[in-house]
Chain A
Amino acid sequence: MTALVGTAMTGGYGGADILKGCTIAVEAGEIAVIVGPNGAGKSTAMKAMFGMLDLRAGTVLLNGDDISDLPPQQRVRRGMGFVPQTQNVFTSMTVEENLQMGGFIRGDDFSDTIEEIYRLFPVLREKRAQPAGELSGGQRQQVAVGRALMTQPKVLMLDEPTAGVSPIVMGELFDRIIDVAQTGIAILMVEQNAKQALQIADRGYVLVQGENRYTDSGAALLANPDVRRAFLGG
């Protein structure tokens, strides 16, 4: 069963629609990437799937359950994790406290989850007592992803996780994201660095003006001459 699928989503922030019947899906253990030009509605599509945008039409299914009408907080409880593009950590709190806050809704003992996240992101274990605001951009993103993983989500959504980090750090972040996907979590992300992102994507969506233009495996999109010319800079 598809972990998360948004079908024929239509809607916007009042006024004109930004999304015009676009469809995005991701399977467990896979990485799906949304790329496209500026203003194509990439982030909007993801926010719509997380409930931060009211849809006029279309449905969102999480493991087959219709969650179209649930607010974001409820979707978190149902197994979705979301990492915003900016302000995605509690800067004045330590790394460990950030993770604890990520697990806030869990009533059980989550120390084993923290341990798991430290295994995935070893640098966080070293910096556990340091305020997240003092970390580098790449480390901060790892805290942000770690915080979202604390609820043990089935689907993890990342809004431009590599925005503003150096190419080397970007490569490392993508490696970590692959590691996360291999634990069986479905990953959906929006990326500016389209070429690099498609290289790790099992599935890629090229959005243009709120509609699906191309949908294929990451490798196939990278090989497609039309996609290369129009969206990947040759």
Chain B
Amino acid sequence: MESALNALILIGNYIVVPGLAYGCQLALGALGVTMIYAVLRFSNFGHGEIMSFGTMLVILATFALQSAGLSIAPLPTALLALPAGIIGAIGLCLLLDRYVYKFYRQQRASPVIYLIVSIGTMFIIGGLIRFIIGPQDRNFADGERFIVKASAFKANTGFSEGLAIKTAQGVTVLTTFAVVGLVFWFLNYTRTGKSMRAFADNEDLALLSGIDPDRVVRITWIITAVLATIAGTLYGLDKSYKPLVYLHLLLPIFAAAIVGGVGNPLGAIAGGFVIAFSELAITFAYKKVAGYLLGDGVLGDGLLQLLSTDYKFAVSFLILVVVLLVKPTGIFSGKTL
């Protein structure tokens, strides 16, 4: 019995807790991708860099706050710096829309053109980020590191396995719930939110109903920038901030959006968790779990790991390919907001 519980704690510590946090971060990212897709009808490859840009500003603001001696310990200072990052990211998105995407909208460019343009913005923002903050790894998490420490857990419960919950993970889950709730409330219960859904559903009829397309587009970018900055900051607090890593985040985020059904906000959330848990479950080494459940060495002395963590992107890729082959519309049939 106790060894079964130990196995459970092990899985909780290495898959469930980190998976929940990672899933939330992907969900927030995918929500932004999916909203752009629903309203502007293209896949925004610049999304990872928008996350990165917002996070970079949060980090710079955090450093400024830290040197000014301000803190909200035990919570990380980055939360206090979040508005600065959000405002900057909103500015970036609106500028990009005004000077890049608007041109192609007026040309009625095809989605493929948009996609290529968004890759262009990805490189530009990426370059800008490396100019400003540089390519190196940055850790900006401060305050109390753990909500539950593994050693304290062991001491209090007497189990030989420990369960740790990082402050960043707790903050991630709570923030995500609040933000997602707010977004859904906005989309379903406000006049502006409904007009966005109407525009995503049927553009011509929305125009006929007097909905202003420019306003819908602007608000979509603003929401996307907010979501991207929050997602990026939470990811950075949980792990660390490195521009290249954020560029790579694009793949699991797109996989999440597509698995859930592109254009469907609920799907983006579900997709985020599907990708996060698959990635962790497939790259986790089950040797110790098997040891607790079956006895040491019963299954040989391999690590019992399906894939090395170096291949974690392959998991997103694999899920992406399978979904596109089997059910291209995703879990929740996509393409509406």
User: Judging by beta carbons under 8 Å apart, are A84 and B205 in contact?
Assistant: yes
A93 and B211 CA atoms in complex are apart in Å by: 15
CB-contact partner of B198 in A77, A90, A105, under 8 A? A90
User: Judging by beta carbons under 8 Å apart, are B205 and A73 in contact?
Assistant: no
Q: A73-B210, A104-B211 are in contact. Are A93 and B205 (CB under 8 A)?
A: no
A72 and B211 CA atoms in complex are apart in Å by: 12
User: Judging by beta carbons under 8 Å apart, are A72 and B201 in contact?
Assistant: no
Binds B, one of A95-103, A186-194, A198-206: A95-103
CB-contact partner of B205 in A88, A100, A105, under 8 A? A88
A105 and B215 CA atoms in complex are apart in Å by: 14
A157 and B205 CA atoms in complex are apart in Å by: 14
User: Judging by beta carbons under 8 Å apart, are A91 and B202 in contact?
Assistant: yes
Q: A84-B204, A101-B211 are in contact. Are A92 and B336 (CB under 8 A)?
A: yes
A76: Cβ under 8 A from any B Cβ: yes
User: Judging by beta carbons under 8 Å apart, are A87 and B204 in contact?
Assistant: yes
A82: Cβ under 8 A from any B Cβ: yes
B166: Cβ under 8 A from any A Cβ: no
User: Judging by beta carbons under 8 Å apart, are B209 and A92 in contact?
Assistant: no
User: Judging by beta carbons under 8 Å apart, are A105 and B204 in contact?
Assistant: no
Closest residue of chain A to B337 (Cβ to Cβ) is: A92
Among B266-290, those with CB < 8 Å from A are none
Q: Which of B198, B202, B210 has the most CB of A within 10 A?
A: B210
B173: Cβ under 8 A from any A Cβ: no
Q: Which residues of chain A have a CB within 8 Å of any CB of chain B?
A: 72-73, 76-77, 82, 84, 87-93, 97, 100-102, 104-105, 147, 151
A77 and B336 CA atoms in complex are apart in Å by: 28
CB-contact partner of A93 in B197, B204, B207, under 8 A? B197
Q: Which residues of chain B have a CB within 8 Å of any CB of chain A?
A: 191, 194-195, 197-198, 201-202, 204-211, 336-337
A101 and B212 CA atoms in complex are apart in Å by: 12
A91 and B205 CA atoms in complex are apart in Å by: 11
A147 and B202 CA atoms in complex are apart in Å by: 13
A154 and B195 CA atoms in complex are apart in Å by: 24
User: Judging by beta carbons under 8 Å apart, are A90 and B205 in contact?
Assistant: yes
CB-CB under 8 A from B211, the residues of chain A are 101, 104
Q: Which of A72, A88, A90, A91 has the most CB of B within 10 A?
A: A90
CB-CB under 8 A from B210, the residues of chain A are 73, 76-77, 104-105, 151
Q: A90-B197, A97-B194 are in contact. Are A105 and B202 (CB under 8 A)?
A: no
27 contacts between A and B (CB under 8 A): A72-B208, A73-B207, A73-B208, A73-B210, A76-B208, A77-B210, A82-B208, A84-B204, A87-B202, A87-B205, A89-B205, A90-B198, A90-B201, A90-B202, A90-B205, A90-B206, A92-B201, A92-B337, A100-B194, A101-B194, A104-B191, A104-B195, A104-B198, A104-B211, A105-B209, A105-B210, A151-B210
16 new A-B contacts, CB < 8 A, other than A97-B197, A102-B209, are: A72-B207, A73-B207, A76-B209, A90-B198, A92-B197, A92-B201, A97-B198, A100-B194, A101-B195, A101-B198, A101-B206, A101-B211, A104-B191, A104-B198, A104-B211, A147-B205
Expressed in whole angstroms, the minimum distance between the Cβ of A100 and any Cβ of chain B is 6
A39 and B114 CA atoms in complex are apart in Å by: 36
Expressed in whole angstroms, the minimum distance between the Cβ of A13 and any Cβ of chain B is 16
A82 and B209 CA atoms in complex are apart in Å by: 10
A101 and B202 CA atoms in complex are apart in Å by: 11
A90 and B207 CA atoms in complex are apart in Å by: 12
Closest residue of chain B to A144 (Cβ to Cβ) is: B205
Q: A90-B198, A93-B197, A93-B198 are in contact. Are A101 and B204 (CB under 8 A)?
A: no
Q: Which 5 A-B pairs have CB atoms at the shortest separation, nearest pair first?
A: A105-B210, A92-B336, A90-B201, A101-B198, A104-B209
A100 and B193 CA atoms in complex are apart in Å by: 12
Expressed in whole angstroms, the minimum distance between the Cβ of A128 and any Cβ of chain B is 15
Closest residue of chain B to A81 (Cβ to Cβ) is: B208
A129 and B208 CA atoms in complex are apart in Å by: 23
CB-CB under 8 A from B198, the residues of chain A are 90, 93, 97, 101, 104
Q: A87-B202, A87-B204 are in contact. Are A93 and B209 (CB under 8 A)?
A: no
User: Judging by beta carbons under 8 Å apart, are B201 and A91 in contact?
Assistant: yes
A82 and B205 CA atoms in complex are apart in Å by: 10
A73 and B194 CA atoms in complex are apart in Å by: 19
